[in-house]
A and B are shown apart, each in its own frame.
Chain A
Amino acid sequence: MTTLPAATDKKLGLVIDLDTCVGCHACAVNCKQWNSGGEMAPLTDQDPYGSEPSGVWFNRVHTYEVEAEDGGRTVHFPRSCLHCENAACVTVCPTGASYKRTEDGIVLIDEALCIGCKLCSWACPYGAREYDGHSGTMKKCTLCIDRIYNETLSEDERVPACVSTCPSSARHFGDLGDPTSKVSKLVEERGGYDLMPESNYRPTNKYLPPRPRNAVPRSGAPTELPPAPGSDQPFLGWLDRLLSR
């Protein structure tokens, strides 16, 4: 069914810390690796070793520069499915392939039902869905349902691949519907926010803004190299005069 559930029991999602993300793309690479063999597999690549490689990725890491009066700021920005509460990608689906799960709020595609009309990718404001020209179907982030509920993995591994691999702990996974969860507290403490809130898709994933910068004192520290030793020194002065002839 492509009508959205009125409410979901849990709101599983990610909290992404833009303060600590170093833009290493490890999340994107580990996501690609895990999902090439998982629920949505394969994540096909076209012309992978040619001049115009193209392929399906669930995670894309942009780097933005913010120009402000007090100087610039560089922010690495991972972008993936936000598992919206008001998921337009689900309601536009003509076949029922796209759906949002009532139990945990994860937005998924049933690959066996997808006709590849691409309308869901048009409806998504965040560019989270990528069409796989090889399978003729749409692909998207599954929040690693084949990891987070996987009892063959040790408990600490039951998190999405992007979270497990992040070397700077910039990605956090949990239930954002539970105000006492670690992720909800993190959002509250750090002022976690929605992307494009004016569009009212009510994304589950939240982003933590970069922390305020410490003001750098401008006094004291030298800003230029000291001038080269000159004619006031006996030996170097003599050498300077000799070489200047």
Chain B
Amino acid sequence: MHPAYSVILFTTASGAGYGLLVMLGIGAAAEWLPADRLFGFVAFAVALGAISFGLVASAFHLGRPERMWRAFSQWRSSWLSREGVIAVATYVPTGIFGIGWVILGTNHSAWSIAGLATAGFAAVTVACTAMIYRSLTTIPQWDNAWVVANYLALSIMTGAVLVNALIELTVLPAEPASGVGSIAIVVAYLIKRLYWRAIDTEKPRSTSGTATGLGRFGTVRQLIAPHTEENYVMREMGYRVARKHAAKLRTMASVAAFVLPMLCLAVQTATIRPWAAIPAGLAAVSALVGVLMERWLFFAEARHVVTLFYGAEKQ
């Protein structure tokens, strides 16, 4: 599948933003994060900024962005529509939670309920994003049991390293999230590995023989393409990354998304404030770059069954 930069940016940025909201919501309810106004302001600005930036980036992917509002109508059948509805709905509890934290300076008791609602809506939005891909049976690498877990784990992981970096940067009188971050990194890494193993060992579902129905006569191969130039279908669905490059890119993405942030968090625990903000910040930057690479691979490694009509043998 063609990796559209707008969609890669959208899922990475908004995923991190929603992950940060999950951390803030749970952090307030668990009485781990105090209702510090400066920290609250920065954290909500980063979370809402990343989410809103992501939503705007996704609009650039549309042919008619001015009609974007119509996408809220088909939530009964479409995961894309559900994602839009929940994404917008998430602003409501987030707004209440944010007003309490930043303006009134409280995130306890009743306000923490708004925080938990924020965390819940944020997680559901990320799950809806993942379901858009998961529900496409035309792409075996996306119609995979690990996709939703993968999106949620990476969202929470980036949220955890972000909240950790913000705690250190604002010198918040609270325990930094290096422990939570490390656990999130390990979980996300394991899920990513399981996803990669699943798509590497998946048996082909269709062949050029079943796609054309000509398999009954023997091996089918395309002799003459229907057109001399690439068409939309080939450009959009025909993109693929060579297997040897994919292996290299997986390693690079793993180093940036998991290994380096883990090392940075280890360095951070051995560093005193305010210097601990440096490794904490680097962990967040590296994780985000790694997730961008992972998201690019998620597209580039996905192979659409329509390629069976254009010369692919099995998919």
Contacts and interface: CB of A to CB of B under 8 A. Distances in A.
A binds B: yes
A3 B76 CA distance: 7
B66 to A, nearest CB: 9
Interface stretch (A5-13, A57-65, A225-233): A57-65
Contact of A197 (B72, B210, B229): B210
Nearest to B82: A94
A67 B62 contact: no
Interface in B63-111: 63-65, 67-68, 70-74, 76-81, 84
B216 A209 contact: yes
Nearest to B59: A115
Interface string A75-109: 10101000000001011111111000000000000
Could you say which of B62, B63, B84, B139 has the most chain A C-beta atoms within 10 Å of its C-beta?
B63
Contact of A115 (B63, B221, B224, B233): B63
Contacts of A64: 208, 212, 214, 220-223
B305 interface: yes
A68 interface: yes
B211 interface: yes
Contacts of B73: 94-96
B33 to A, nearest CB: 35
Contacts of B137: 88, 125, 199
Interface stretch (A128-136, A174-182, A237-245): A128-136
Interface in A112-131: 113-119, 121-127, 130-131
Given A67-B219, A92-B80, A136 B63 contact: yes
A125 B308 CA distance: 9
B231 A94 contact: no
A62 B224 contact: yes
A60 B231 CA distance: 10
A215 interface: no
Interface string B283-315: 000000000000000000000111011100000
B229 A53 contact: yes
Interface string A36-62: 000000000000000011111100111
A131 B211 contact: no
A66 interface: yes
A93 B229 CA distance: 28
Interface in B12-33: none
Nearest to B139: A122
B130 to A, nearest CB: 14
A209 B213 CA distance: 8
A121 B213 CA distance: 22
A122 to B, nearest CB: 6
A121 B64 contact: no
Nearest to B79: A92
Contacts of B236: 118, 121-122, 131
Contacts of B63: 114-118, 131-133, 135-138
A26 interface: no
A207 B210 CA distance: 12
B273 interface: no
B71 A95 contact: yes
A185 interface: no
Given A54-B229, A64-B222, A92-B135, A198 B84 contact: no
Contacts of B216: 209
A132 B232 CA distance: 9
Contacts of A121: 232-233, 236-237
B64 A137 contact: yes
A55 B73 CA distance: 30
A115 B68 contact: yes
B205 A95 contact: no
B9 to A, nearest CB: 16
Contact of B81 (A74, A94, A193): A94
Contacts of A126: 306, 309
A185 to B, nearest CB: 19
B138 interface: yes
B70 A113 contact: yes
B64 A94 contact: no
B77 A75 contact: no
Contact of A207 (B213, B218, B222): B213
Among B79, B84, B217, B225: residue with most chain A CB under 10 A: B217
Contacts of A77: 212, 214
A121 B63 CA distance: 13
Nearest to A207: B213
B54 to A, nearest CB: 15
11 contacts: A66-B218, A73-B217, A97-B70, A115-B67, A117-B71, A121-B236, A124-B306, A137-B64, A196-B206, A196-B305, A209-B214
Given A57-B227, A57-B231, 5 more contacts: A88-B136, A115-B70, A122-B138, A195-B212, A198-B205
Interface of B: 1, 61-65, 67-68, 70-74, 76-81, 84, 132, 135-139, 205-206, 208, 210-214, 216-227, 229-233, 236-237, 304-306, 308-310
